[in-house]
Amino acid sequence: MMVSFSKLGIFGRSVLAGLAAFGTCLLFDDCKCHAQSGHVSVEAVPLTLPVLVGNKDCPVLKLKLEWMGDAQQISLTQLQGTLDGTTAAEDVEAWSIFGGVNDDFHEAQLLGKLAKPGAEASFVHTFAGDGYPLPSGVSILWIACTLSETANIDHRVGVACSQLSLSTGETVVLDGAASQQRLGVALRRAGQEGVHTYRIPGLATSCSGTLLAVYDVRRRSGRDLPGDIDVGLSRSTDGGQSWQPMQVIMDMGEDPQWQYDGIGDPAVLVDAQTGTIWVAATWSHGNRSWHGSGAGILPEETGQLMLVHSDDDGLTWSQPSNITPQIKQPQWSFVLQGPGKGITLRDGTLVFAAQYLDGEDHQRLPHSTILFSSDHGASWQIASSAWDDTTEAQVVEIEPGVLMLNCRYNRVPARVVMTTRDLGMTWQRHPTSERALIEPKACMASLIDVGREANKDYGGLLLFSNPDSRSKRHRMTIKASPDRGMNWPNEQQLLIDEGASAGYSCMAMIDAQTIGVLYEGSQAQLTFQRIALADIVKGLGTVKSSP
């Protein structure tokens, strides 16, 4: 007889476990775990977490073990499995086994190292001594790996557990599929180079194909401005496989009297016609950020919108220039960029998403908008409000001269989407606004036009990334729209990190077939991954160069 082991609770499981003593074959939930043991059930728990170059012991497989418990002590003595799903064994430096009693891998205990698998990529691990004692109730077993510094991040790692042996002499056999994970790079980690926190990613591809990642370097704490914060830059000339040492490209001072003159929330823009790279950020001279900034123009009164630029592919950078007098209305409390990235329109206009706060007489109400330059950055203008109570936004040009602004919204857990045909003098509400794209109450997101970035004709294909949740910042997901944002089909979505994080992200096309995504992940403060476009959008067919 075969019995399905669903969510029956302890009593129901105990009843079915008794059948095992008479040779009954038990089929456990997702992993089809067949066992003669009446003591232990095993479930292979689906897992989606990036395995990162630069991190030690990245979880790949998660097993949930449940022992009903009686007077007898029971231990796990041996584990057998395969590295099914691992593209190249040389990508992995070491495999390890961890055990714990909750879902937090970082609280699990190291149980041992796996011996180097044989020619068939299978392994047998025998636990030391009398084995690993199983607590009564639920415990979690993890198999993790550490990648080589030269691992190819286009590859995958995978592992499957085929059999567990118990101190009673019984075995639990699993025939489920391997747990396979994507690779990536831990671009910035907490404490790296003595920095407390790295946040707020921006990502762009230069005209020569160099990847440019910008971010906050929060030296003393994880808090937002004001504070000791600079803007950092990382460059990659091989599509994100490896990264050069961090540069600090914006540093406004370190005087404690002015709360270290922090500058942050960067956005990066590549001028597609000249090749110049621009980075915008907000400077807080003292407490002149979201809460402390006020009316006026001067640094002692209000936050300052600063720009730097590079004409040599990001190798060297200009001194910061201050465009606050050009764009800020004195009665506003604050004005700043995206963050994330900006774009070049078909006619050469440079556009950053932007945001501003009304004055005190209007309760400092925030508004999303755009900031633009028609002379390649020599001068800048700001548009009108796109929608009330919106803040961090991203912009794309969905048709020649037609811009779509996708905005973080404070009132409901869904994105506001607006369009303009006149550079933000007037705005129209898009049919999908507050409906098609959810967010966890309020969080920054990324939006890119694939064809414009890759210089290919993809027929209006857009990509969007954010935490795919209404409740909390987890489940970082990339979604595709084949029709300029009118629809976001469920079958064209890819979960890349299920864990909880700070949740910000920014995408750029590396080439016509490959997405780069830099995001605040669960496994590193700033995670970079390469994602094949075909993994999200099926049946792309042959693409052609844009006219």
**87: domain CATH number?**
2.60.40.1290
Kindly name the residue from 43, 66, 392, 397 that is annotated as catalytic: 392
The angle formed by the CA atoms of residues 294, 296 and 298, to the nearest 5 degrees, is 105
Which of 165, 183, 201 is a domain's end point? 183
pLDDT at 348: 98
- Position 146 scores a pLDDT of 97
- CATH code for the domain of 412: 2.120.10.10
pLDDT on residue 175: 85
Structure tokens at 28: 């456990």
Residue with tokens 């936050």: 303
Residue 543, in any domain of the structure: no
Whether 225 maps to a domain, the answer reads yes
* pLDDT of res. 119: 54
- Any catalytic annotation for residue 93? no
User: If you ran DSSP here, which 8-state letter would residue 105 be given?
Assistant: G
> 99: which 2 tokens?
């055990």
Q: Write out pLDDT tens, residues 445-496.
A: 999 999 999 999 999 999 999 999 999 999 999 999 999 999 999 999 999 9
Output the six-digit token pair for 541. 């067919």
Q: Are residues 152 and 271 in the same domain?
A: no
Pairing of strands 156-166, 40-44: unpaired
Q: Within 13 Å and on the Cβ side, how many CA atoms surround 356?
A: 26
What's the confidence (pLDDT) of residue 447? 99
Query: Which strand (E) or helix (H) includes residue 287?
Result: none
Pair 6, 143 in one domain? yes
What does the pLDDT read at residue 38? 58
At 361, give phi and psi (nearest 5°): -70, -15
pLDDT for residue 545: 42
Helix H or strand E segment including 261: none
pLDDT at 40: 86
Are residues 251 and 145 located together in one domain of the fold?
no
Residue 472 counted as domain residue:
yes
Whats the size of the chain, residue-wise? 547
Question: 240: domain range?
Answer: 189-535
Residue finishing a domain among 130, 151, 183 = 183
**Looking at the domain assignment, is residue 436 inside a domain?**
yes
Alpha carbon distances (Å) from 252 to 52, 249, 282: 33, 10, 10
Measured in whole angstroms, how far is the alpha carbon of residue 472 from the centre of its chain?
Answer: 14
Same domain assignment for residues 390 and 304: yes
Is there a domain that residue 84 lies in?
yes
- List Cα–Cα distances, 447 to 113, 266, 355, in angstroms: 42, 16, 16
Cβ atoms < 10 Å from Cβ of 68: 16
Among 183, 199, 218, the domain-final residue is 183
Q: Are residues 324 and 432 in the same domain?
A: yes
Residues 111, 194: one domain? no
Domain assignment of residue 239, yes or no: yes
What distances in angstroms separate CA 125 from CA 79, 129, 252, 383, one per listed residue?
Answer: 5, 13, 55, 64
Residues 208 and 353 in one domain: yes
Query: 169 and 198 share a domain?
Result: no
Q: What pLDDT sits at residue 120?
A: 64
Beta pairing class for 40-44 and 58-67: antiparallel
Which pLDDT score, from 0 to 100, does residue 136 have? 86
Which of 397, 507, 512 is CA-nearest to residue 454? 512
Indicate whether 208 and 86 sit together in one domain.
Answer: no
Query: Is 541 part of a structural domain of the chain?
Result: no
Residues with Cβ < 8 Å from 351, sequence gap 6 or more? 269, 342, 343, 344, 345, 370, 371, 372, 395, 397, 403
Give the pLDDT score at 268. 99
In a domain, 546, yes or no: no
Which pLDDT does position 171 carry in this prediction?
A: 92
Does residue 399 sit in the same domain as residue 473?
yes
- The contacts of residue 440 (CB under 8 Å, 6+ apart) are 413, 467, 469, 470, 471, 472, 473, 474, 503
DSSP lists the bridge partners of residue 157 as: 181
- The confidence score (pLDDT) of residue 118 equals 59
> Nearest-CA neighbor of 182 among 219, 134, 147?
147
| Domain co-membership, 125 together with 200 | no
3-state secondary structure of 329: coil
Tell whether 210 and 172 lie within a shared domain.
Answer: no
Total domains, the chain: 2
Phi and psi, residue 124, nearest 5°: -130, 120
How confident is the chain (547 residues) per 10-residue block, as mean pLDDT?
32 35 33 49 95 98 88 88 94 96 94 78 92 92 97 97 93 90 98 98 98 99 98 98 98 96 98 98 98 98 98 98 98 98 98 98 98 98 98 98 98 98 98 98 97 95 98 98 98 98 98 98 98 92 44
Q: Tokens 């995001």 — which residue? A: 519
